[in-house]
Amino acid sequence: MLSEFDLIKHYFNRDRPARATLGIGDDCALLTPTPGMQMAISSDMLVEGRHFFAGAEPYQLGHKSLAVNLSDLAAMGARPVACTLALALPAAERDWLHGFSSGLFALADAHACELIGGDTTKGPRNICITVFGELQPGHALRRDAAQPGDDIWISGTLGDARLALAGYLNEVPLDEASLRAAAVRMHAPTPRVELGMLLARQRLAHAAIDISDGLVGDLGHILARSRVGATLDVDALPAGDVLATRDTALRRAYTAAGGDDYELCFTAPASARAAVLAAAGSVATPVTRVGRIEAAPGLRLVDAGGHALDLKLSSFDHFTS
Amino acid sequence: MLSEFDLIKHYFNRDRPARATLGIGDDCALLTPTPGMQMAISSDMLVEGRHFFAGAEPYQLGHKSLAVNLSDLAAMGARPVACTLALALPAAERDWLHGFSSGLFALADAHACELIGGDTTKGPRNICITVFGELQPGHALRRDAAQPGDDIWISGTLGDARLALAGYLNEVPLDEASLRAAAVRMHAPTPRVELGMLLARQRLAHAAIDISDGLVGDLGHILARSRVGATLDVDALPAGDVLATRDTALRRAYTAAGGDDYELCFTAPASARAAVLAAAGSVATPVTRVGRIEAAPGLRLVDAGGHALDLKLSSFDHFTS
């Protein structure tokens, strides 16, 4: 049987610390921070049956587990540096570990994010990753920095991850090809790391958040912390390729409050429009202007004609849903 | 019902970041490292039914969850700075959250370790804490630094945590008063933070590890990484108050391989003996000399008379036991 020690050695310890001063295998990892830089830190926990289905494909799960964390660094504008992985597994299965670690390392390598430590134990499947990034002091894209007059921008497209979930749960009829296409967005989200770094480094955006629990709820965090309101043009929200083919009601609901998108929502002054588009173009990330920050509190949803919409949306909450 | 947002706000967000540049409530926390210092990082995951009993008293559990992480910083000689907490809970129970957060914060405050972020979700109870500490470059107490001729030292006492577990599992008959006394060591371990920091700062110790899975196994990690061997005087091992009253066989087994002790095992040159005792005395932490590092590989267990002991011990492994 595979011991805990062998499990770490074979699947997670690559024995070539790059950035870390001391990597896996001691009581702590050691990092030497870049002089003058701030460290951005975030932890996310993914639970089987809640954040992913039992039997989820391990390569995709390894990717997604790190992606949702890198997305938090992106929303801050930080450059990924390192991560730790704590893993509870019902058993040490070689195939699962090979797939999971391969998916995780493929994404980690793409962002030069080094796995420097962690923990493994037996238990109901649970994946807890903590990521570390760096940024210049004062450059962080904070939730409390939106200003009246700012444009509201969204990267990429929204709603296909939620549509895939609806397909799996038979909430919405979805043919197999459509489900497969939408499911890519659910299983393999793309953290917008380069866009976030550029928005921070060029001081283009005021506030940012990553959309994990649905745009309306996540934008609400920016509004609350910045003590501002907003008008959101729901029909301007960029729908995912599969969702774009569905009816208006479904498109509005899932783009506005779908969840699991891991796109960035950020605010930037109107004077920065051309610069935002140029920056996004330079990292091949589409961005769409979808609304405006206003001094009056509250979030006003409108349609393409500017008429108020009452969508009865609710953001996902882990303890009340 | 308590929402995820309210849960964090009421039980974990104390709204007064001390050390953090930006604390709970954004996509990431921001830390500004002390110039010139290295960062020590460790993650531990505690699973209900594995690391603690279902129904474990929440205040003690909050203490222990952080204590096992601070113990990793202690074993590196790092000063605690901050931590993140990711928490999966079957339900958001106010009493549990109040107890858990109170226990965690009491220990965090005692070590000036600020909770700067994390995650909460519904799921089988699982507690994942990542801690951050700081130390001078070159001062870390690494597992690979033991040298032949070094003394082997143990802080505090060993085995009462294992004895309490044996009592709970009815492996060993234990009267109620004894169980209660031994159980304190199981439920409320003391991380040896001050001792570890002093050993590092005064450059007294070569190698160190914290004893979580049993001394023989944990010392084995030092031996393997340092490519040395050792002789351990099993009868010199300091037994916990309750274990000290039991027979020799039980005392030997549980001091040598009990687990869950969270004492430090460290090696130091014989020339540092007086300085080690003085340092330990200055932070009111008893230390005991229990063996010697040798060039010949392997771990030799001997009794008080120097005769070889064959104890048939095995270290705890999460996937094979």
CB B82 within 8 A of CB B19: yes
Q: Which pLDDT value is given to residue A124?
A: 96
Tens digits of per-residue pLDDT, A35-73?
999 999 999 999 999 999 898 999 999 999 999 999 999
Cα B222 from Cα B210, distance rounded (Å): 11
Place A8 in a pLDDT band, splitting at 50, 70 and 90: confident
Chain A's closest residue to B321, CA to CA, is A3
Chain centre distance of CA A234 = 21
For residues A44 and B19, which has the higher predicted lDDT (pLDDT)? A44
Buried residues in A211-241 as b, exposed as e (16+ CB within 10 A): bbbbbbbbbbbbbebbebbbbbbbbbbbbbe
Tens digits of per-residue pLDDT, A247-281?
999 999 999 999 999 999 999 999 999 999 999 99
Three-class SS state of B275 = helix
State mean pLDDT over B82-103: 93
State mean pLDDT over B248-269: 95
Chain centre distance of CA B314 = 19
Bridge partners of residue B151, in order along the sequence? B268, B292
**Of A217-221, B9-13, B308-312, the least confident:** B9-13
State mean pLDDT over B31-37: 91
Cα B290 from Cα A153, distance rounded (Å): 64
Q: Residue B102, annotated ligand binder?
A: no
| Chain A residues in contact with B123 (beta carbon < 8 A) | 45, 47-50, 124, 126
**Of A126-140, A234-248, A277-291, A303-317, the least confident:** A303-317
Tens digits of per-residue pLDDT, B46-84?
999 999 989 899 999 999 999 999 999 999 999 999 999
State mean pLDDT over A159-164: 96
Helix, strand, coil percentages (3-state) for chain A, rounded to 5, are: 35, 25, 40
CA distances from B83 to A81, A110, B38, B40, B237 (A): 18, 27, 16, 11, 33
CB–CB contact B30 A140 (8 Å): yes
Q: Residue B44, annotated ligand binder?
A: yes
CB–CB contact B140 A51 (8 Å): no
CB–CB contact B29 A40 (8 Å): yes
Q: Which pLDDT value is given to residue B316?
A: 57
Chain B's closest residue to A86, CA to CA, is B45
Token digits of residue B15: 């709204």
Share above pLDDT 70 across residues of chain B, in percent, rounded to a whole number: 95
Question: What DSSP character marks residue B22?
Answer: B
Q: Residue B51, annotated ligand binder?
A: yes
| Residue B174 scores a pLDDT above 70 | yes
Closest Cα in chain A, distance from residue B210 (Å): 7
Place A312 in a pLDDT band, splitting at 50, 70 and 90: confident
| Chain B residues in contact with A191 (beta carbon < 8 A) | none
Q: Which pLDDT value is given to residue A317?
A: 59
State mean pLDDT over B224-233: 96
Q: Which pLDDT value is given to residue B19?
A: 67
Token digits of residue B247: 């027979």
| Residue A319 scores a pLDDT above 80 | no
Torsion, CA B176, CA B182, CA B183, CA B188, rounded to 10: 150
CB A305 within 8 A of CB A230: no
> Of A8, A22, A26, which to mutate for an interface test with B (greatest number of B Cβ within 10 Å)?
A26
Closest Cα in chain B, distance from residue A15 (Å): 13
Place A92 in a pLDDT band, splitting at 50, 70 and 90: confident
| Chain B residues in contact with A82 (beta carbon < 8 A) | 41
Closest Cα in chain B, distance from residue A36 (Å): 7
| Chain B residues in contact with A116 (beta carbon < 8 A) | 41
Q: How many CB atoms lie under 10 A from the CB of residue B177? A: 9
Chain A's closest residue to B124, CA to CA, is A124
| Residue A25 scores a pLDDT above 90 | no
Q: Which pLDDT value is given to residue A3?
A: 78
| Chain B residues in contact with A126 (beta carbon < 8 A) | 45, 47, 88, 123-124, 126, 128
CB A49 within 8 A of CB A151: no
CA distances from B237 to A45, A115, B223 (A): 39, 36, 18
Mean pLDDT of chain A: 92
CB–CB contact A78 B22 (8 Å): no
Q: Do the bridges between strand A79-89 and strand A114-122 make them parallel or antiparallel, or are there none, so unpaired? A: parallel
| Residue A93 scores a pLDDT above 80 | yes
Tens digits of per-residue pLDDT, A165-218?
999 999 999 999 999 999 999 999 999 999 999 999 999 999 999 999 999 999
| Residue A315 scores a pLDDT above 60 | no
Domains of chain A: 4-135 (3.30.1330.10), 151-302 (3.90.650.10)
User: HSE of A279 in the Cβ direction (CA atoms, 13 Å)?
Assistant: 23
Closest Cα in chain A, distance from residue B297 (Å): 20
CB–CB contact A85 B43 (8 Å): yes
Q: Residue A273, annotated ligand binder?
A: no
Indicate the helix (H) or strand (E) that contains A293: strand A287-294
Token digits of residue A222: 């920016």
Token digits of residue B320: 């094979």
CB A212 within 8 A of CB A201: no
Closest Cα in chain B, distance from residue A4 (Å): 6
- Type of residue numbered B292: R
